[in-house]
Structure 1
């Protein structure tokens, strides 16, 4: 297996469970899977199209969303080999014809030109969940820049996670989480939505749609102009 970039967050045995078939289990899945599905439904749920997920982690959400949105081809990706093993195991478990094998993709790189991404054909959406705050700012920049190339007009870039708004955290829990992230890695931290929106605007995306989610998280949708 290849070694993932050092800036990438990876799950450790201390914060996930695992099964004998290789599936990893994140405790946050049970809390957020259904609210995220409900928020995604009006954005991508009825479409017959291809969605690329950046940073699929354990693969639990990819399997769940592929089953929830059978018209949508769900293409997971992750730069961590152990994560891709888990994603592949969840794919086997889900038996969902619309769930692809995981792609080795580092969002900080020039991923939009990768053969595996180009082979997906026209992308209707790119989804990245709980990534930009546990990665350097260069990853957020790479996600937005790559999405501007990989999405056609009207394509959606969808981000989920905690965000600050107007320079302020949306809750004390997010403030503490931000401090803990920056203590672990000074390049990590809860991103301000204004900064992310500015990146998207400069890359050709239009107005942002912000959907409030449980636990002071946000589902943020940018539409390609």
Structure 2
């Protein structure tokens, strides 16, 4: 039996994130979450956005924890499970395992992933988004970013040092590079929202 994972950071940021994505995904039908992690965001957002289906996904090592989170929500009678799909095993550098009924993805969400990924994984992420997100679909990315090569806070600078110590391929990404990668896939930045703890919520639309 898998333990139900928990992240305090997810609890702290879920309400501000929801406020931003509820507008971005107001007309979406199927949202794919890349890097579902503990599953806390998925349960919270699916409950708050009953008009859409929330498709969870992550690398293989996280799947048991996500399933435990969804099972707990179901056992508590949480209606979020009605529009919350079991996790897909998804590695952004490999073909995305989307079935024919998942071809209508008009929303993609990811939180605290791009600074963990190696640069080539970030590039693969955007290639996947460009391939699978429908025209006029929305992409929302939450996390820390640098602007004009500069940290937005001392805490982000310390966090970046810590990331490099964990894995030298990880780093806070420059917003200009992220926007460039997005534009190569037909994505246009339409919103850059301030979030708690010196994070941002980037909203792109595929044209």
My pick for the range that moved more, 149-158 or 200-209, is 200-209
Which of the residues 58, 61, 76 maps onto 2:38? 58
Specify the alignment match of 1:25 in structure 2. Answer: 6
Matches of 1:208 and 1:170 in 2, distance apart?
20
State how far apart, in whole Å, the 1-side matches of 2:5 and 2:151 are: 31
- The CA RMSD over aligned residues, in Å, is 1.5
Q: With the length of structure 1 as denominator, give the TM-score of the two structures.
A: 0.85
Match status 1:120 vs 2:99: no
**Deviation (angstroms), 1:94:** 2.2
Q: Return the match for 1:107 from 92, 106, 116.
A: 92
* Counterparts in 2 of 1:117 and 1:208: CA distance versus 1, 3 Å: farther
Residues 189, 202 of structure 2: 8 Å contact kept: no
Distance apart, 1:110 and its partner CA: 2.8
| Equivalent-residue separation in structure 1 for 2:28 and 2:116 (angstroms) | 31
**Distance (whole Å) between structure 2 residues aligned to residue 48 and residue 130 of structure 1:** 22
Gaps of 5+ in 1: 1-19
Task: Please give the residue correspondences for 1:1-225 in structure 2 after superposition, counting only pairs within 5 Å.
Answer: 22-44=3-25, 46-47=26-27, 49-81=29-61, 83-95=62-74, 96-111=81-96, 114=97, 116-225=98-207
Tell me the TM-score normalised to structure 2 length.
0.92
Matched residues in 2 for 1:169 and 1:118: separation?
42
Q: Describe the superposition over 1:193-219 as per-residue Cα deviations: whole angstroms up to 9, x where unpaired.
A: 100100011111123421111111000
Runs of 4+ aligned residues of structure 1 deviating over 6 Å after TM superposition are: none
Q: Note the residue ranges of structure 2 that are not aligned, 5 or more in a row.
A: 75-80
Which is worse superposed, 148-157 or 191-200? Answer: 148-157
- Verify the 8 A CA contact 2:103 2:132 in the aligned structure 1: no
Contact residue 35 and residue 59 of structure 2 kept, 8 A: yes
Structure with larger RCO (C-alpha < 8 A, sep 6+): 2
Deviation at 1:34, TM superposition (A): 0.9
